[in-house]
Structure 1
Amino acid sequence: MTGRVHAILAAITAALLTASCAYTTGVTGTPAGANPDQELPTIWRSIATDDDRQRISNVRRSFREGVADAAAGGHAHEVAQEGILLQPDAGRADPRPPAGYYRCRFVKLGSQGSVPLSFVAYPWFRCRIDDQGETLRFVKLTGSQRPSGTFYPDNRLRMIFLGVLVLGDETRAHVYGRDTTRDMAGILERIGDARWRIVLPYPRFESLVDVIELVPEDQGSAG
C-alpha cells in the first residue's frame, strides 16, 4: 500500500510540474501565445505571476480610478461619449468571442504621473482570435504596440487574458513571466451582441487602465 501511495504522489507531482512549465515554451521553444499549436493549461492562476494575479484582483478599482482621473483631467465628455465601453460594470454573460478577425482599438485612461495625458483614444487596428479549444489565442496584428497572448476561462462574466507586449518591428513575442515590463494581464468581457473589451488594469507605463475594444471585422465600427 505504501508503494502505491508513493506512486500516486509522484504522478501528481509530475503533473503539477508539467502544468507549471507548459506556459513558458512549447515543443518548438516558442513563447506561450506565439505558437497556436502549443497546448496550454486552462487554469490561469497556475500560469499568472503573483504580480499579475494582484493586478487582476484590482481590475475594477483600476477601471474606476482611470475613469475618475480622465474626468478630473477635463475628459469627462470623451469618457461619456464612449458609452458602455468605459462603464466598469457593463460585462454580460457568455464572454467567449468567436474565432476570426476583429477591428480593435486602445483607449487609455488615467495618468501614472510621468505622462500628462489622462485620456487617449487610438484609431482602429486589426486583431485576430484563434480557437484553441478551452482557450483562445489573441494577437493584435497591426500598430507599434501589439498585445499577444491567451484568453482563459474564468467565470460566466469574464475570461482572463495573459500575454506579452510586442513592440515596433519585433516579429516574435517574448515569453510570458520572464520580463515584467512586457507582461500583460487583464479580463475579457462581452459588452454587446457582437462587441467585447479587454480591460488591462495598472499597465506598466503611462495609464491607470487600458481598454481594448473588439468588434468583428464584418460588423465595422461600434460607434
Structure 2
Amino acid sequence: MSCRSLPARLRAGTGLAIALVVVACSPADPAPTSASPAAVPAAADAATVAANPVTEAAPPTQADAHDGTPDDWRAQVWPTDRDAILAEPTFDLALDDHDPVLADARQVLALAGSGRPLGTITGAWQVRSLQFDGRGGAYAYPWFDATIARQGGVLTFAKTSGSQRRQGRLLPIDRSTLAFLGSQSVNDEPSPGYSRQWPSPPAARVEGDSVGRLVRTGESELLMVLDVDGPRFELYQLRR
C-alpha cells in the first residue's frame, strides 16, 4: 500500500515517527574547543590592545651595589685611619690665594658634600692628582688612566698609568660615599695592598698604606679625598 492511499491521520503519525527516528540517530554536537591564538580575528586583537595598552620601557641601568652595613668598613681599617677617611682637609695659610691648584681644590671639595648617589661607577676613568704637602706647596699633575672594577664581589680602584700609582678596595660608608683602603706604589711595582688586609698583617699600618673616600661630584666626575692629615692631603679628580 502506498502512503498516498493511507488516511490523512495515519500519514501524519507516520511522518512524526520518522522525524523522531532521524533526530535520535543524528550524531551529538562536538565538545567546544579553545580557539588557538592564530584563530582570533585581527580585529579582536586590535580591540584588546586598544582597551589594554602595553607600554614597554627599557629596563633601568643597574647601578653598582653600594649598600652595606655602614660600620663594616671600620672593622677593616687600622684604628688610626678611621678618622682620616672621614676628615675634611684644611688649607695651609701659606698657600697663595691666587694659586690655580688651590682654586681647583676648593671647587671640587665644595661639590663633594652634595650627597649625589654614586650610581654606576665601574669602568675606565681618567684621573688627575692635586697634592698639598702641608708646607705651602700645591701641585697638579696631568690626567692618567684609572679603572674601577668589581672583583670577587668587591669594588676596586686602580690608577694604572703615571709614575705614582694607587690601588685598593672600595667599601660602602653610605649610599653616596665609599671608603678607599689601598696602597701606593711606583711605576709597575706590584702593589702590596692595604696592610690590615694582608694574609699576615703587621702590628700597625705601614708607610705605603693609603686611605680616603670617594664621592660623586658631577654626572661624569668623581672625587677621591686621600690621606688627610690637616693641610697635608691629596685629591684624585676622576672624569670620563
TM class by smaller structure: 0.5 to 0.7
Structure-2 residue corresponding to 1:47: 76
Distance in structure 2 (CA, Å) of the matches to 1:80 and 1:174: 32
Q: 1:75 to 1:108 in 2, by over 3 A?
A: farther
SS of the counterpart of 2:96? helix
Distance in structure 2 (CA, Å) of the matches to 1:190 and 1:175: 23
Distance in structure 1 (CA, Å) of the matches to 2:176 and 2:163: 30
Distance in structure 2 (CA, Å) of the matches to 1:81 and 1:202: 17
Q: 1:134 to 1:144 in 2, by over 3 A?
A: same
Distance in structure 2 (CA, Å) of the matches to 1:135 and 1:91: 25
Distance in structure 1 (CA, Å) of the matches to 2:191 and 2:152: 23
SS of the counterpart of 1:122? strand
Distance in structure 2 (CA, Å) of the matches to 1:95 and 1:134: 17
Please say which of residues 90-99 and 136-145 is displaced more in the overlay. 90-99
Unaligned runs of 5+ residues in structure 2 are 1-68, 197-201
CA contact (8 A) 2:130 2:139 kept: yes
CA contact (8 A) 2:144 2:159 kept: yes
**Structure ID, larger Rg:** 2
TM-score by length of 1: 0.63
TM-score by length of 2: 0.59
Moved over 6 A (4+): none
Q: 1:46 to 1:77 in 2, by over 3 A?
A: same
Deviation at 1:122, TM superposition (A): 0.5
Residue correspondences, number:
163
SS of the counterpart of 1:86? helix
Percent of paired sites with the same residue: 26
Please say which of residues 155-164 and 129-138 is displaced more in the overlay. 129-138
SS of the counterpart of 1:123? strand
Q: 1:186 to 1:91 in 2, by over 3 A?
A: farther
Distance in structure 2 (CA, Å) of the matches to 1:163 and 1:82: 22
- Paired letter, 1:168: N
2:125 corresponds to 1:106: no
Structure-2 residue corresponding to 1:30: none
**What is the root-mean-square deviation of aligned Cα atoms in Å?**
2.8
2:124 corresponds to 1:95: no
